[in-house]
Amino acid sequence: MRLPLWHLTLASIRNRGLATGLTLVAIALSVALLLGVERLRNDARASFANSVSGTDLIAGARGGPVSLLLYSVFHIGDATQDVDAARVDALRRHKEVAWLVPLSLGDSHRGYRVVGTTTGFFAHVRTGDRQPLRFAAGQAFDGVFDAVVGAEVAEALGYAPGARIVLSHGAGEFSAAEHADKPFTVTGVLARTGTPIDRSVLVGLAAIEAIHLDWQGGSRIPGVEIPARFVSKFDLTPRRVTAALIGLERRTAVFRLQREINASAGEPLMAILPGVTLDELWRVVGGVERALLAVSAFVVAVGLAGLVATVVSSLSARRRELAILRALGAGPGDIFVLLMSESVLLATAGGMLGVLLLWALSAGLAPWLMARHGVQLVPRLLDQRESMWLAAVVVAAVLASLVPAWRAYRYSLADGMTVRL
């Protein structure tokens, strides 16, 4: 008669509570790390891709494509030089261009980037799956000293329509100097997008010109001060911009227009395809991704090695127990299945515990990742790819458990009942 192996398996695991608990924790942590790296990698890619939805070309000063993408869309780094605004206006009039949104970067507000642009930014820029920008409160800027803030800026600094803010010259939290003589009024707060727009302060291009009327070469002109009430007397037409986002009438013309911009005479310009450049960026960091996955896989291997070590080290203490099972009618195959079942059950339970741990961490860290890094981490149990990773861990546990199961299989009844002095 065959013994109730499933009952014996559970009883054996319960009998070694401390070792079992430590093994479960080790496997759970390693699985959570492996799946966490995979989830963060995929969600980070999705978040980056969502930032450039609906834009066909990005034009800026000639240089590195990745650099242009980073500073124009993700506000990482700075442009080596600006481009003539007249050149950008010429692009706007091109027959293939449906819309063009200029960008002027270089200033900041309490560590958040200031983006000089036009109201076309709110009409044409898309995020996510081509979702338009929406206002959580207020409206777009209209006057020279009006500003629209992103969701994170409003939440972190407590801004609402009507708030007064002061911009600073230069980027970063510790900027060179404040434009305190020309304060701005917040007219609108954008709804959260999960993109760098949430961490931006948007003003008109005329505002960028106005706050720099008494500046030259990156510093204030000595002895010159132009109060805000007098700026309307000056020509506030922008002379230089940092980059431009371009949407086309026909997407089939994107390569032709890109070549035309890159080969144009006069001031050298460069046009990039956001999606292609984003793929190039991921190829650059692909080595880091693979290294992180490799480290996670090694951690899982260490967890499974601990499982095997725990089962193997317990065999000597369990030899009499196994011999008694043999005496009660269990065959070598039953002992083999018993040890295999213990290892696989521990690995499966540890894997599921790791999934629950990852879900809890995802739910807890998602707001922080969104606020600090713009990465939209979606709390979920498992997607298809993560399920495959978890299945791979269970299969690896099955293979690893062959070692202790085979050793137990080879123990004979006489060896188990023999007392060695």
pLDDT digits (tens, 9 = 90+) for 367-402: 777 666 556 667 777 777 778 878 887 788 777 777
pTM of the model: 0.70
247 backbone φψ class: left, alpha, beta (φ>0; ψ -120 to 50) = beta
Could you give the count of Cα atoms lying within 13 Å of 19 in the half-sphere of its Cβ? Answer: 16
Cα-flanking dihedrals φ and ψ of residue 49, to 5°?
Answer: -65, -35
Query: Which percentage of the chain shows pLDDT scores above 70?
Result: 80
Residue after which a domain boundary falls, among 272, 302, 320: 272
Of 343 and 374, more confident: 343
What confidence category does residue 348 fall into, taking pLDDT thresholds of 50, 70 and 90?
A: confident
Same domain for 245 and 166: yes
Same domain for 204 and 76: yes
In a domain, 278, yes or no: no
Same domain for 41 and 94: no
Same domain for 365 and 227: no
Whole-angstrom distance, CA of residue 151 vs CA of residue 232:
30
- Looking at residue 185, its pLDDT comes to 95
Could you give the count of Cα atoms lying within 13 Å of 233 in the half-sphere of its Cβ? Answer: 5
- Looking at residue 304, its pLDDT comes to 73
Select, from the ranges 147-151, 250-254, 316-320, 338-342, the one with the highest average predicted confidence (pLDDT).
Answer: 147-151
Same domain for 212 and 122: yes
Whole-angstrom distance, CA of residue 342 vs CA of residue 160:
59
- Looking at residue 3, its pLDDT comes to 47
Same domain for 257 and 160: yes
Same domain for 311 and 241: no
What confidence category does residue 277 fall into, taking pLDDT thresholds of 50, 70 and 90?
A: confident
Count of domains observed in the chain: 2
Site of tokens 């986002």: 245
Q: The tokens of 405 are what?
A: 């199961």
Same domain for 294 and 252: no
Same domain for 265 and 120: yes
Same domain for 402 and 308: yes
Same domain for 119 and 231: yes
Site of tokens 């820029």: 125
pLDDT digits (tens, 9 = 90+) for 279-326: 887 777 777 767 777 777 777 777 777 767 766 666 665 666 666 666
In a domain, 277, yes or no: no
Same domain for 79 and 228: yes
